[in-house]
Amino acid sequence: MSDDAPVIVTGLEKAFGGTPVLRGVDLKLSAGENYTLLGGSGSGKSVCLKHIVGLLAPDSGSVRVFGEEVGGRSDANLVKLRRRIGTVFQSSALFDSLSVLENVAYPLREHRDWPEERVLRRVAECLEVVGLPGTEAKRPAELSGGMRKRVGIARAIVLQPELILYDEPTTGLDPANSSRIGALIRSLQDELNATALIVTHDMPLVDSISDRVGMLHEGRIAFEGTVAELRESQRPEVRAFLAWDGEEEMP
């Protein structure tokens, strides 16, 4: 993989309160792929995402996104880079006081000087993509959990990002809605040709969307390969993860 990869993480280390979480993570994403990052609770998956979008600065190591070093830059300095990244938060992170239209339009109004007609058209396009046409006037409280997730995805893609970060996109959803989100993630890969990094421990989702898989264990990438290679791996940490039900800490 060449160094024009959209994300290159090298030797990333991060500790909180003196407790190491990441102990030297190395990670490269190929343009256009769906890369899924696995790991038990507290393994540092979401911490990795926060470094990539610049919400955390490394204690040591390098995080490069689209060829630019992310760590140590101010929020103001990161604005242009973040416009190229869409983030789907675990909680959907919708504004309860705003309508679906206003939630999805928010990045456009912050980062684009578009006439209102164009904003409305783009919001409608994104809601159509996620299977929620005509929901502009609804409030988040009127939506099911799965619908809120899809509105969060619509907001994440409204600026046509080149990189999409998904933080536990199926948490709290029933199997039918989880499957729907998985199909949406895969269809967006085809429609947008964007690179995606998906943090999850939902194995049916992993099976349905992943081009490659990495597994965090003890602060490092302990496994990397295809889903088939993951399933066939005899590494003890991989076998323990595949046997884990997600309800308790991994052994």
Per-residue pLDDT in tens (0 to 9) along the chain, 251 residues:
345 799 999 999 999 999 999 999 999 999 999 999 998 888 899 999 999 999 999 999 999 999 999 987 888 888 889 999 999 988 778 999 999 999 999 999 999 999 999 999 999 999 999 999 999 999 999 999 899 999 999 999 999 999 999 999 998 888 988 999 999 999 998 888 899 999 998 899 999 999 999 999 999 999 999 999 999 999 999 998 888 755 444 44
Summarised one tens digit per residue, pLDDT across range 79-137 is 889 999 999 988 778 999 999 999 999 999 999 999 999 999 999 999 999 999 999 99
In this structure, is residue 235 part of a structural domain? Answer: yes
CATH number assigned to the domain comprising residue 129:
3.40.50.300
In this structure, is residue 78 part of a structural domain? Answer: yes
Handedness of CA 215, 221, 225, 228 (dihedral sign): negative
C-alpha span between 157 and 93 (Å, rounded) = 15
Side by side, which strands form the sheet with 7-16?
A: 19-29, 7-16, 60-65, 68-69
In this structure, is residue 7 part of a structural domain? Answer: no
In this structure, is residue 64 part of a structural domain? Answer: no
C-alpha span between 88 and 91 (Å, rounded) = 9
Q: Is 100 in contact with 91 (CB distance < 8 Å)?
A: no
In this structure, is residue 15 part of a structural domain? Answer: no
- Give the pLDDT confidence score for residue 74 in this predicted structure: 81
The total number of structural domains in the chain stands at 1
In this structure, is residue 5 part of a structural domain? Answer: no
Both tokens of residue 67? 């060829």
- Give the pLDDT confidence score for residue 246 in this predicted structure: 53
C-alpha span between 51 and 62 (Å, rounded) = 10
Find the domain containing 107 and state its range.
32-54+74-243
In this structure, is residue 61 part of a structural domain? Answer: no
